Amino acid sequence: MAGRKRKPVALKKLEGTFRKDRNPENVVELPVTAPPKPDWASHDMIADQLYDQVVVHITRMGVGSDVDGIAIALLADQLSQYLKLRAMVLADGLIVETVGSTGNTIQKPHAALSQMNTAYANIVKMMSEYGLTAASRAKVGANAPVTVDSFEDFLKT
């Protein structure tokens, strides 16, 4: 599939760029709810806790729905992997010394650094899907929630 990804209607509405004439009529809009956690997401204790934290944030922002459980579990899994790899690098250091075939000492970057960078790239991509980065929040105006104290306030918005 060439070109940019299609932007969800809810995101267009939050940004103020929604136009009825440019959007399909059969768009499925799901209610904002806390998505259920997939069973496999509970096998890693860190990912399990991170899933719960992410769900709290996306439901406060009004972004998540029932069908987002797998995507959020994958985000939590990548976060967990990143944190584990980071702990390894912090324990061993960025540069690791090994003994070469001739007996000389060779310094090279920690083997976990490339996996850490890949996990980081995946995390940033997935976080932007849900408005969990500063740039993606700025696009949707997620920092400015509307509070309604009375029916009169509701009519003003």
Render pLDDT for 50-103 as a digit per residue (tens, 0 to 9): 999 999 988 888 888 889 999 999 999 999 999 999 999 999 999 999 998 999
Give residues with Cβ within 8 angstroms of 53, minimum separation 6: none
For residue 106, pLDDT beyond 70: yes
DSSP characters over 105-119: EEEEE-THHHHHHHH
How many whole angstroms separate alpha carbon 55 and alpha carbon 148? 23
Contact in structure between 97 and 106 (CB atoms under 8 Å): yes
28-50: pLDDT as tens digits: 777 888 999 999 999 999 999 99
pTM to 2 decimal places: 0.72
- pLDDT score recorded for residue 62: 81
Give the three-class secondary structure for 144.
coil
Which tokens is 62 given?
A: 């009004």
Instruction: Give the confidence band of 143 by pLDDT, cuts at 50, 70, 90.
Output: very low
- Residue 98, judged by CB atoms within 10 A of its CB (0-12, 13-18, 19+), counts as exposed
Give the three-class secondary structure for 108.
strand
